[in-house]
């Protein structure tokens, strides 16, 4: 199928590369293609974009709008700070009636580490996106794990842990749960309810960040033990 | 040892009853002893206070200040909304130099269910308590699970899940981790760091509430899978 991935950081690259490796037609969208393709390795990117693209040559790199237009399904993987601007560039017409898989977090690093949330408690980034694009079927998921774990849950605890879906459209959530299983191998998906439940998974991030520091690795996830 | 438990709701009752059953001298503190002892069963209390006290007669019921004065260690288990007022009634002199185990959450139900948080993101109830009582050694813990799970972790997933401690005093955190093991059987305690990490465990509550709704039980906890 045709998949658009918005965002050229580690999350967008990881998802785009994995989905393309499954023989789907993937376009990775970015604000400025030239700047992205020239981006060196940095603190958040283990390798330069060129090195990553060399190893993932099947992924086409294009402006946001082209990636959104291309996708039968679109994954939103920008850093949360520029999310609404990136989605505006992707274009409402290119997102109408489509499933938008939102894996982003509204992390605010303006005061350093640990980050705070730019929106929380009585609202969430997932809700903001759904309100801004009312004809798009937004499904929040995967934001509770690091990029490498998103596409390879079996790498953590034998895959015995949970991921969540939040959204107003039941069909869209069910479809995303199927894709999480078929693309990445997620076996345990909990449907939290409507898009307001994005608050829960986004407000978990401050705990995620502290656990990461305490156990010295971002490669973990939570299992709901009963 | 002598233990003070502040709060006469389900959390305070559950902790006081369990600790008293281990032959510690427990005083449960409340704002108004007569009102508390006359309290009927209600939506949050499965039984009347009198019925609970009949089954836990070793627990002495007294005003907040008397419970705090009695305790070598004090557990704060009021509902978060009245936390600072309850602790003011307990009295700074009665809390100085002691370990205060804060198991509360700043849940705000004023707009109904699900609750929001009265403080979050750039501050937390744990921090507010520590700032208000600078000579008290505040340790935040157990707020991530329901009362019954607090005192019986083995009842969930064979005990294979995690609880956290947050606080500025390492000795106090180590002592609380020992008590969690000895009193209740907690085997897996993660030290998240200083009291600012209370933000993480308190901001997890909106996810906890949604998971509870999704799986139809409050009897669960998270395991950090690696």
- Chain B residues with CB inside 8 Å of A117's CB? 121
* Torsion on CA atoms A80, A82, A83, A87, rounded to nearest 10: -160
3-state SS record for A70-116: HCCEEEECCCHHHHHHHHHHHCHHHHCCCEEEECCCCEECCCCCCCE
Q: How far is A2 from chain B (nearest CA, A)?
A: 32
Residue B144 per-residue DSSP state: T
Q: What is the pLDDT of residue A43?
A: 79
How near does any CA of chain B get to the CA of A41, in Å? 27
pTM, entire model: 0.97
Residues of chain A with pLDDT under 70: none
The percentage of chain B sitting over the pLDDT mark of 70, rounded to a whole number, equals 100
- Assess A188–B contact: CB distance below 8 Å, yes or no: no
**Three-class DSSP category at B30:** strand
pLDDT of B177 reads: 98
CA–CA separation, B153 and A28 (whole Å): 45
Model pLDDT for residues B1-26, shown as the tens digit of each residue: 999 999 999 999 999 999 999 999 99
Residue A96 backbone dihedrals phi, psi, to 5 degrees: -55, 135
Cβ pair A225, B161 in contact under 8 A: yes
Could you give the maximum distance between any two Cα atoms of chain B, in Å?
50
* Residues of chain A positioned with their CB less than 8 A from the CB of B200: 206-211
Closest residue, chain A, to B214 (C-alpha) = A192
Q: What pLDDT shows up at residue B215?
A: 98
Is the distance from CB of A147 to CB of A175 less than 8 angstroms?
no
Residues A211, B224: C-beta atoms closer than 8 Å: yes
Q: Is it true that the peptide bond before B114 is cis, omega within 30 degrees of 0? A: yes
Q: Who among B122, B191, B203 is closest to A203 (CB)?
A: B203
List, for residues A21-48, the tens digit of each pLDDT value.
999 999 999 999 999 999 999 877 789 9
pLDDT per residue as tens digits for the range B185-219 = 999 999 999 999 999 999 999 999 999 999 999 99
Q: Is the pLDDT of residue B172 over 90?
A: yes
Query: What's the pLDDT score for residue B214?
Result: 98
Contact criterion met (CB < 8 Å) for A226 and B215: yes
Look at residue B147 and tell me whether its pLDDT is greater than 80.
Answer: yes
Cβ distance B192 to A210 less than 8 Å, yes or no, reads yes
Whether B225 and A156 lie within 8 Å, measured CB to CB: yes
Candidates A209, A121, A210, A201; CA nearest to B166 is: A210
pLDDT at A46: 81
ipTM score of complex:
0.97
């Amino acid at each position: 199928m045709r998949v658009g991935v918005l965002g050229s950081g580690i999350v967008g690259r990881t998802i785009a590369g994995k989905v393309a490796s499954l023989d789907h037609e993937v376009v990775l969208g970015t604000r400025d293609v030239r700047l992205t393709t020239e981006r060196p390795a940095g603190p958040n990117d283990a390798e330069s974009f060129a090195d990553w693209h060399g190893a993932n040559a099947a992924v086409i790199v294009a402006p946001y709008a082209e990636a959104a237009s291309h996708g039968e399904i679109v994954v939103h993987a920008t850093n949360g700070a520029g999310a609404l601007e990136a989605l505006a560039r992707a274009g409402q017409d290119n997102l109408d009636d489509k499933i938008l898989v939102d894996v982003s977090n509204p992390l605010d690093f303006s005061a350093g580490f640990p980050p705070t949330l730019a929106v929380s408690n009585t609202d969430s980034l997932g809700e903001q996106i759904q309100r801004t694009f009312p004809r798009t079927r937004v499904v929040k998921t995967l934001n509770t794990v690091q990029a490498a774990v998103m596409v390879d849950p079996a790498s953590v605890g034998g895959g015995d842990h949970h991921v969540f879906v939040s959204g107003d459209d039941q069909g869209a959530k069910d479809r995303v749960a199927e894709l999480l299983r078929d693309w990445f191998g997620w076996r345990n998906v909990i449907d939290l309810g409507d898009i307001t439940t994005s608050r829960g998974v986004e407000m978990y991030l401050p705990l995620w960040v502290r656990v990461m520091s305490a156990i010295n690795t971002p490669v973990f996830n939570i299992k709901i033990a009963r």
